[in-house]
Amino acid sequence: MTQQPPWGEPGEDRHYEPYEPYDPTARGPHVPPPVGYPVPGWQYGLDPATGLPLSDKSKVAAGLLQMLLPLIGIAGVGRLYAGHVGIGLVQLLGVLVGYLLICVVIGILVVPAMLLWSFVDGIVILASSHPRDGSGRVMR
């Protein structure tokens, strides 16, 4: 007994399901629409270049926070603002631990390294064409 292929025989009439328009209320109020169904007014809009949803965060604010605050000894605030909590906490806690380790001399290496990492990270955020926030949405 041979199995018939799932696509049918050549020339056979195929049955296609009718196209159903997307109903944004069918999946709940906080569930984003599937890819290919841009819904006007979905949260903060869609990026005109990529069609991806926009974030409520600003890339300029995140980049400047990430670049300028290391000049006064604080790191990771721009990443925390953008929603990248893991990287932001590593940078912030790394600087704080480095300040505590200055009395053991190793902090003299840790603090500048963390501040430099944060500063360069701010440049990367500003230079990126489509940086993402912690939720994966394109920052404005």
Q: Give the whole-angstrom CA distance, residue 62 versus residue 57.
A: 8
Tell me the DSSP string of 65-106. HHHHGGGGT--SHHHHHHT-HHHHHHHHHHHHHHHHGGGGST
Q: What would the pLDDT profile of 92-140 be if each residue is shown by its tens digit? A: 999 999 999 988 888 889 999 999 999 999 999 999 988 888 888 888 8
CB 107 within 8 A of CB 100: yes
**Angle in degrees, 0-180, between the axes of helices 85-100 and 107-127, rounded to the nearest 10:** 150
Q: What would the pLDDT profile of 30-83 be if each residue is shown by its tens digit? A: 555 555 555 544 667 777 777 777 888 899 999 999 999 888 888 999 999 999
Structure-token pair, residue 48: 């005109």
pTM of the model: 0.65
The CA distances from residue 114 to 39, 52, 71, 77, 103, in Å, are: 42, 32, 12, 12, 17
